[in-house]
């Protein structure tokens, strides 16, 4: 159990982390700070945090043992650069940023050796935002990446954070920062861009949305995500995301070329792009 934790960024993830800690008994006292006074007041009013940590506004050292950065990636980097030298010795600092290499690079450059930084990323969330949408079960059963570079061994602080995350139901996985960024480019960032591209394509086509079914709604749900968060993700993970886009563009281009060839034929020739479907969802054939 941590005596005092400060959550900087009391939006959806930060507030959900606070609620999960309260439910699991992972901290005696939970403080909060946010650049938005309205968000901070709401988190305090809802009982998500117990108090406001004014130390960073006052350029003082926080008394918290663990500081949890739940902000957009560039804001996390800015905090590390500007406030990293005002953390008390022995502080454990972790983050919930969606990309890891740039954050970890900033931590290596700007934090003192007596501060333990542990990069993290909860694979959880929603297109909704703010403390009003926070849930104590946000991390239950969800993957949670902690950064461990090659050759590193776990220190007591990593073990303590790992235990805390497991008590709130997260499934902790360790990997290097670059490995993390390559994987999430395919599994998280690419789906967001595909969803946004689909929604934008349909919007500009003037197709009647009244004809859309659940498939279209499922595919475009992510398009409602907050741009400020995604701006930071795209800016700090450009090459892995570009590579992911190249891979899906190659496959879509192959389907497009087959369709163009099909349109020039006089008879229907099947199957079109059957391999693209069967590689992912093998067709079950009945035995004869």
Report DSSP letters for 22-83, one per residue: HHHT-EEEEEEE-S-HHHHHHHHHTTSSSEE--TTTTT-----SEEEE-S-HHHHHHHHHHH
Q: Is residue 67 over pLDDT 50? A: yes
What integer pLDDT is reported at residue 272 of this predicted model? 62
Query: What average pLDDT does range 200-204 have in this prediction?
Result: 93
| Token pair belonging to 67 | 């500081």
What integer pLDDT is reported at residue 84 of this predicted model? 84
Q: Is residue 7 over pLDDT 90? A: yes
Tell me the C-alpha distance between 2 and 176, whole Å: 26
What integer pLDDT is reported at residue 110 of this predicted model? 94
What integer pLDDT is reported at residue 129 of this predicted model? 84
Q: Which CATH class is domain 2-175?
A: alpha beta
Q: Which residue has the higher pLDDT, 61 or 288?
A: 61
Residues in the chain, total: 288
Tell me the C-alpha distance between 66 and 6, whole Å: 6
Q: Is residue 267 over pLDDT 90? A: no
DSSP 273: S
Query: What average pLDDT does range 213-229 have in this prediction?
Result: 87
Asked whether the beta carbons of 143 and 85 are under 8 A apart, the reply is: no
Query: What average pLDDT does range 17-26 have in this prediction?
Result: 95
Asked whether the beta carbons of 42 and 14 are under 8 A apart, the reply is: no
Q: What is the DSSP string of 96-130?
A: --S--HHHHHHHHHHS-TTSEEE-EEES---S--S
Q: Is residue 285 over pLDDT 50? A: no
On the question of a common fold for 2-175 and 180-265, the answer reads no
Q: Is residue 136 over pLDDT 90? A: yes
What integer pLDDT is reported at residue 29 of this predicted model? 96
Question: pLDDT-derived band of residue 128, with 50, 70 and 90 as boundaries?
Answer: confident
Note the CATH number of domain 180-265. 1.10.3660.10
Q: For residue 157, give Cα distances in angstroms to 93, 122, 161.
A: 10, 18, 6
Rg of the chain over all Cα atoms, to the nearest angstrom: 23
Q: What is the mean pLDDT of the chain?
A: 90
Tell me the C-alpha distance between 27 and 21, whole Å: 6
Q: Is residue 243 over pLDDT 50? A: yes
Q: Which residue has the tokens 């968060």?
A: 229
Query: What average pLDDT does range 126-154 have in this prediction?
Result: 88
Domain boundaries, the chain: 2-175, 180-265
């Amino acid at each position: 159990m941590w005596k005092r934790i400060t959550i900087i960024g009391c939006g959806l993830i930060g507030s959900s982390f606070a609620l999960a800690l309260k439910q699991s008994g992972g901290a005696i006292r939970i403080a909060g700070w946010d650049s938005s006074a309205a968000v901070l007041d709401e988190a305090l009013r809802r009982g998500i945090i117990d108090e406001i940590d004014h130390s960073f506004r006052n350029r003082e050292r926080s008394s918290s043992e663990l500081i949890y950065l739940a902000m957009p990636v560039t804001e996390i980097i800015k905090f590390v650069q500007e406030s990293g030298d005002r953390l008390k010795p022995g502080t454990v600092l972790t983050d919930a940023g969606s990309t890891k290499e740039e954050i970890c690079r900033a931590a290596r450059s700007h934090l003192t050796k007596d501060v333990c930084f542990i990069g993290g990323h909860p694979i959880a969330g929603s297109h909704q935002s703010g403390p009003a949408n926070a849930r104590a079960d946000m991390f239950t059963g969800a993957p949670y990446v902690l950064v461990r570079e090659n050759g590193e061994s776990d220190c007591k602080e990593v073990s303590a954070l790992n235990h805390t995350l497991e008590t709130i139901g997260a499934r902790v996985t360790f990997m290097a920062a670059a490995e993390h960024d390559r994987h999430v480019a395919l599994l998280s960032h690419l789906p967001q861009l595909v969803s946004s591209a689909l929604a934008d394509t349909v919007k500009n086509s003037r197709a009647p949305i009244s004809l859309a079914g659940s498939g279209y709604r499922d595919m475009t749900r992510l398009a409602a995500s907050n741009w400020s968060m995604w701006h930071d993700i795209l800016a700090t993970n450009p090459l892995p995301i570009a590579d992911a886009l190249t891979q899906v563009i190659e496959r879509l281009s192959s389907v497009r070329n087959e369709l163009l060839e099909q349109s020039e034929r006089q008879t229907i020739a099947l199957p079109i792009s059957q391999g693209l479907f069967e590689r992912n969802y093998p067709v079950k054939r009945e035995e004869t």
